[in-house]
């Protein structure tokens, strides 16, 4: 059974994978997101949100994969039993909410979160989540050496809540911790009226899309479920 490494500190992503029967190890990436996006803009021009999240997901997955490979190489060079398994799959993700062509990231402070919700309420946005998978498995473990990714985009309709409701939600602190200043699987769930697309993508990791990416690397989903 391949071992999954999730290159994300998101509790929601980890919980989603665990609820689907997977038990990934978490290794948080150390990438500078602003620099990654600036470098990509210099190379490719201005990125749309769907491309931006994919670039960030790739950077996170490949940075963690590189670190794991270095550890394994150092252990092998020193004649030690490798601390990093040879059957590892690394998954990186990143999410952004787009409203009328504008990106809504993590609010910097409560007032910014309140402004976000005043602009969002009664309307809709598109939650883009980029996914990137890196196959670090050895040939003997069926490794392909592949690196592949794609973006899940889900339209979200928000309830038309009043200022008091916004203030109470922002006071919980949750909107300051997540892209778009809301969750669908937490305290923000009552304020999401409906979605069009994969709701897992709104949580931060699309299980159907991830299954398809893993299949491209010859990793059937069933082989990842823990007994």
pLDDT for 32-59, tens place per residue?
Answer: 999 999 999 999 998 999 999 999 999 9
Task: Give yes or no for a contact between 106 and 66, defined as CB atoms under 8 angstroms apart.
Answer: no
Which pLDDT does position 1 carry in this prediction? 78
Task: Indicate the pairing of strand 124-135 with strand 102-104.
Answer: unpaired
The percent of the chain in helix, strand and coil, each rounded to the nearest 5, is 45, 20, 35
Which of 126, 186, 184, 176 has its CA nearest to residue 156? 126
Single out the catalytic residue among 94, 141, 164, 167.
94
Q: Mean pLDDT across the chain, nearest whole number?
A: 92
Which pLDDT does position 41 carry in this prediction? 93
pLDDT band at residue 84, thresholds of 50, 70 and 90? low
**Strands, E, within the chain: which ranges?**
3-6, 25-26, 88-99, 102-104, 124-135, 147-158, 192-196
94 flagged as catalytic: yes
pLDDT at 102 over 90: no
Which pLDDT does position 83 carry in this prediction? 43
pLDDT at 96 over 80: yes
Which pLDDT does position 82 carry in this prediction? 47
pLDDT at 86 over 60: yes
Q: Span 102-120, mean pLDDT? A: 92
Cα 134 to Cα 63: distance, rounded to the nearest angstrom = 10
pLDDT at 80 over 50: no
pLDDT, one tens digit per residue, over 166-215 is 999 999 999 998 989 999 999 999 999 999 999 999 999 999 999 999 99
Task: Indicate the pairing of strand 3-6 with strand 88-99.
Answer: parallel
pLDDT, one tens digit per residue, over 3-25 is 999 999 999 999 999 999 999 99
Q: What is the DSSP string of 159-202?
A: P---HHHHHHHHHTSGGGGSGGG--SSSTTGGGEEEEES-HHHH
């Amino acid at each position: 059974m391949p071992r999954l490494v999730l290159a994300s500190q998101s509790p929601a992503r980890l919980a989603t994978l665990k609820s689907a029967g997977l038990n990934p190890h978490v290794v948080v990436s150390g990438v500078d997101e602003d620099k990654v996006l600036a470098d990509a803009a210099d190379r490719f021009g201005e990125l749309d949100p769907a491309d931006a999240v994919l670039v960030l997901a790739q950077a996170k997955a490949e940075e963690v994969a590189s670190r794991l490979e270095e550890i394994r190489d150092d252990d092998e060079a020193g004649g030690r039993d490798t601390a990093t398994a040879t059957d590892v799959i690394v998954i990186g993700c990143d999410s952004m909410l787009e409203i009328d062509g504008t990106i809504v990231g993590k609010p910097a402070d409560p007032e910014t979160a309140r402004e976000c919700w005043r602009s969002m309420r009664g309307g809709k946005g598109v939650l883009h989540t980029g996914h990137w998978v890196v196959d670090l498995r050895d040939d003997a473990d069926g490794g392909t050496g592949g690196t592949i990714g794609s973006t899940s985009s889900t339209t979200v309709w928000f309830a038309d809540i009043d200022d008091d409701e916004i203030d109470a939600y922002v006071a919980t602190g949750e909107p300051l911790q997540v892209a778009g200043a809301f969750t669908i699987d937490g305290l923000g769930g009552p304020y999401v009226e409906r979605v069009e697309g994969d709701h897992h993508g709104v949580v931060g990791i699309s299980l159907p899309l991830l299954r398809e990416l893993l299949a491209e690397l010859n990793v059937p989903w069933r082989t990842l479920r823990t007994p």
